[in-house]
C-alpha cells in the first residue's frame, strides 16, 4: 500500500533527437578536413617536426587563423596530438603509420583518390539514382572506368588499393585457412597485395596474379620489392575476353572484384573458375557483404551505392546471392566466414566436387 511519502516512479521513453541526423549530415566535414591535411602534406611535415599554429602558418604560408583551425580539427579527429607544454602538434600513431608520405603503408593515396574522383561523383548521386548510370566516367565514350582515365589518378588509385588490400589480405588469411592449398590464382589481383600477404603467412603457398597487362607490370614490381618473387608470378590477361582462366591452381581468389560487375557477368566469372579448378579445388570470394535482409551493414550498403556512381552494373551482393550463383556453377559445401577489415567483412567459399 503506497503512502503520500512514497516516491513516484515515472518511466520515460528514450527521446528521439536529431543528433544522429546531425552526425550523418556533417560527416563530410571530417572527410574534407582529412583530405585537406593530406593534400597539404601536413602529416608528412609534422612527422619530422612538431609545430604550433604560428609555425604551421609560416611553413605553409597561410594565415594563423586557418592554421590553428585545421590543427584543432585534425586533433579532434584523433589524427594529431597536442603537447600542452609548448602547444605544438604532432602526429597520432594512426597518422604517423598511414598518412606520412613514403611510409610503408601510406593510405593518403586512397584519401586523395576519394577526394579528387569519388567526392565529385557522389555529389551527382541524385543523377546516378535517376539515370542508373555512373557519374565518374561516361560509358558512352569509355569501355570501362579505367579506359582513358588520368594516368596520375590511376597511379594514385593503385597505390591506395595496395595499402587497403594489404590489411584486408591479412584479415582474410587469419579468417580463412589456406594451408591446404598449393597454388592460388588471384583473378583481378591488382597490385599483388593479397598474394604477397597470403604467401608470407602460408609458406607452402604460391600464387599467380592474373590481371590486365598494365596492372600485372605494377604487381610484378611490388612482388619484387617484397622479396617473394620466387613464389608469386604474374599472368597478363582479361578475365572477360579470355576464353578460360589459367589452370594448375587449386584455389581461386576473387577479392573486391565481384562488386564491380552485374549478376550475369559474375556468373560467367564463376563458371570459368569452376572450369579452371581441379576436383576438390575451391573459390574464395572476399567482399564487403550486404546481409541477406538487405538492411546493412552500412559500409557494405554504402560501397554498393559507390558502385552506382562508378560502374554500369555493379553492386555489393549478399551471401544468399553468392550461394545461389556458386551452386548453379557446380560448387558445393558453400560456407560463409565473417571477419573485419577495411576492404571486406567476409568471404564466401565454395568447393568443386572431388
| HEC readout, 43-93 | HHHHHHCCECHHHHHHHHCCCHHHHHHHHHHHHHCCCEEECCCCCCEEECH
Q: How many CB atoms lie within 10 A of CB 23?
A: 10
CA angle 108, 113, 118 (to 5 degrees): 140
Spacing of C-alpha 101 from chain mean position: 19
Among the options 45, 162, 249, 259, which is catalytic? 259
Name the nearest CA neighbour of 77 among 17, 27, 19, 119.
Answer: 27
CB 176 within 8 A of CB 347: yes
Q: φ and ψ at 233, to 5 degrees?
A: -115, 170
Q: Extract the C-alpha cell encoding 285.
A: 570470394
The question of whether 332 is a catalytic residue gets the answer: no
Q: Extract the C-alpha cell encoding 127.
A: 543523377
What is each CA distance from 8 to 2, 4, 5, 11, 98, in whole angstroms? 10, 9, 9, 10, 55
Q: How many CB atoms lie within 10 A of CB 153?
A: 13
Q: How far apart are CA 264 and CA 211, in angstroms?
A: 20
SS3 for 124?
coil
Which distant-in-sequence residues (6+ apart) come within 8 Å of 41 by Cβ? 101
Q: Extract the C-alpha cell encoding 79.
A: 589524427
Q: Show which residues are catalytic.
A: 259
Amino acid at each position: 500500500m503506497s503512502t503520500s511519502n512514497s516516491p513516484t516512479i515515472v518511466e520515460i521513453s528514450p527521446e528521439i533527437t536529431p543528433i544522429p541526423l546531425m552526425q550523418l549530415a556533417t560527416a563530410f566535414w571530417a572527410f574534407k578536413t582529412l583530405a585537406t591535411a593530406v593534400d597539404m602534406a601536413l602529416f608528412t611535415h609534422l612527422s619530422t617536426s612538431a609545430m604550433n599554429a604560428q609555425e604551421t602558418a609560416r611553413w605553409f604560408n597561410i594565415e594563423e587563423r586557418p592554421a590553428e583551425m585545421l590543427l584543432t580539427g585534425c586533433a579532434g579527429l584523433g589524427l594529431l596530438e597536442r603537447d600542452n607544454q609548448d602547444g605544438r602538434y604532432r602526429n597520432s600513431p594512426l597518422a604517423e603509420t598511414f598518412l606520412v608520405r613514403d611510409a610503408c603503408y601510406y593510405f593518403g593515396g586512397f584519401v586523395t583518390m576519394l577526394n579528387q574522383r569519388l567526392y565529385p561523383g557522389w555529389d551527382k548521386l541524385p543523377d546516378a539514382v535517376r539515370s542508373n548510370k555512373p557519374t565518374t566516367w561516361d560509358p558512352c565514350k569509355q569501355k570501362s572506368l579505367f579506359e582513358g582515365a588520368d594516368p596520375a589518378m590511376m597511379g594514385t588509385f593503385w597505390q591506395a588499393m595496395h595499402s587497403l588490400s594489404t590489411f584486408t589480405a591479412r584479415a582474410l588469411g587469419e579468417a580463412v585457412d589456406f594451408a591446404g592449398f598449393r597454388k592460388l590464382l588471384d583473378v583481378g589481383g591488382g597490385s599483388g597485395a593479397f598474394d604477397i600477404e597470403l604467401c608470407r603467412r602460408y609458406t607452402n603457398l604460391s600464387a599467380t596474379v592474373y590481371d590486365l597487362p598494365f596492372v600485372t607490370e605494377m604487381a610484378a614490381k611490388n612482388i619484387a620489392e617484397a622479396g617473394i618473387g620466387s613464389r608469386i608470378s604474374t599472368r597478363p590477361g582479361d578475365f572477360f575476353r579470355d576464353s578460360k582462366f589459367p589452370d594448375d591452381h587449386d584455389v581461386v581468389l576473387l577479392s573486391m572484384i565481384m562488386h564491380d560487375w552485374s549478376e550475369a557477368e559474375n556468373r560467367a566469372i564463376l563458371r570459368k573458375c569452376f572450369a579452371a579448378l581441379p576436383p576438390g579445388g575451391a573459390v574464395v570470394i572476399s567482399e564487403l557483404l550486404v546481409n541477406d535482409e538487405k538492411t546493412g551493414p552500412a559500409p557494405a550498403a554504402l560501397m554498393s551505392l559507390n558502385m552506382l556512381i562508378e560502374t554500369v552494373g555493379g553492386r555489393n551482393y549478399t551471401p544468399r546471392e553468392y550461394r545461389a550463383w556458386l551452386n548453379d556453377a557446380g560448387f558445393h559445401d558453400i560456407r560463409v566466414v565473417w571477419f573485419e577489415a577495411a576492404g571486406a567483412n567476409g568471404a564466401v567459399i565454395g568447393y568443386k566436387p572431388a
